Structure 1
Amino acid sequence: MTDDTPEPAAIQAIVHRGVPLAAAWSIEVLAAAGGSATCRLPWQEALLRPGGTVSGPALMGLADVAMWAALLGVTDGRDESLTTSLTIHFLRRLPPGPVIAESRVLKRGRIIVGEVLIRSEGSGDIAAHVTTSWAAVVPRA
């Protein structure tokens, strides 16, 4: 972590400004440094789908935000890269409750490749595995 790397709260503020849906869902950035990030999606009944499980769109949104948080942690909080693909494999149902996403940058260049693991808070069982690629964009001045 460089001296210029923003604290998780600062990265969370950047994420909430850049992705208003992340603010509406109250996504928290718990950690972001060295190409990795951990984000938390608090429990909200509105994010359930029939059958009482956390919805796929909520998990995809959380994964996308978690990957951006990881990028913000290695770009001193200045990143305007764009998601070009996101593939999610749902491995098990997530019951109602908070959700944790752990992201990491696997490769940086013109194309950025990353991975996100999603689980219920307090569980070690991976519920979804995400691979994602991003087009690197130089931040505007």
Structure 2
Amino acid sequence: MALAMDKEALQAFLATEFPQVADIFRIEELGEGTVRVRLLVTEQHLRPGGTVSGPTMFSLADVGVYLAVLAMIGPKALAVTTNCSIDFMRKPVAGADLIGHTTLLKLGRALAVGDCLIYSEGGDKPVARATLTYSIPPER
């Protein structure tokens, strides 16, 4: 199955549909069923102690799977998360951006399932792992 959206189209979609967060996510690589997304970590993403917050890591996983799904099915803003399981495995590197490596495991007509491994920039071990399920809106 060929890509329905390229990097530029996905980044433009984020800017149009989700301008409140589009400036913190950068799509670095895109392939069939895979995407690598950078979250530009700023002070707003930190919790006490200077580490990146759990909700910030969740948002990277969520956006990563969302973009991987849209890359395959096209610009469907109403695709929504229906389930998420996330494991926080180690403390992210202070001040480093986060990189999400997402792989779609299943892409059906109604549901998509994807995994996202999250790394601190320059780190070789994941700081978190998430599995998300997305509901895909029906064709009209």
Fold in common (TM above 0.5)? yes
What is residue 12 of structure 1 aligned with on the other side? 11
Alignment coverage as a number of residue pairs: 137
User: After superposition, what is the alpha-carbon deviation per residue over 1:43-85, rounded to whole angstroms, capped at 9, x for unaligned?
Assistant: 311110001100111111111111111112212x323321001
Unaligned residue ranges in structure 2 (runs of 5+) = none
Q: Is the 8 A contact 1:115 1:132 kept in 2?
A: yes
Structure 1 gap segments, 5+ residues each: none
Say if 2:70 is the partner of 1:78.
Answer: no
Contact preservation (8 Å) 2:84, 2:133: yes
Partner of 1:27: 25
Instruction: Check 1:14–1:138 CA distance in 2 against 1; reply closer, same or farther (3 A cut).
Output: farther
Output the TM-score relative to the length of structure 1. Answer: 0.87
Q: TM-score, normalised by structure 2?
A: 0.88
Distance 1:94 1:124 in 2: 11
Q: Is the 8 A contact 2:82 2:134 kept in 1?
A: yes
CA RMSD of the aligned region, Å?
1.8
Could you say which residue in structure 2 is the equivalent of 1:106?
105
Q: How does 1:90-105 map to 2 (within 5 A)?
A: 90-95=88-93, 96-105=95-104
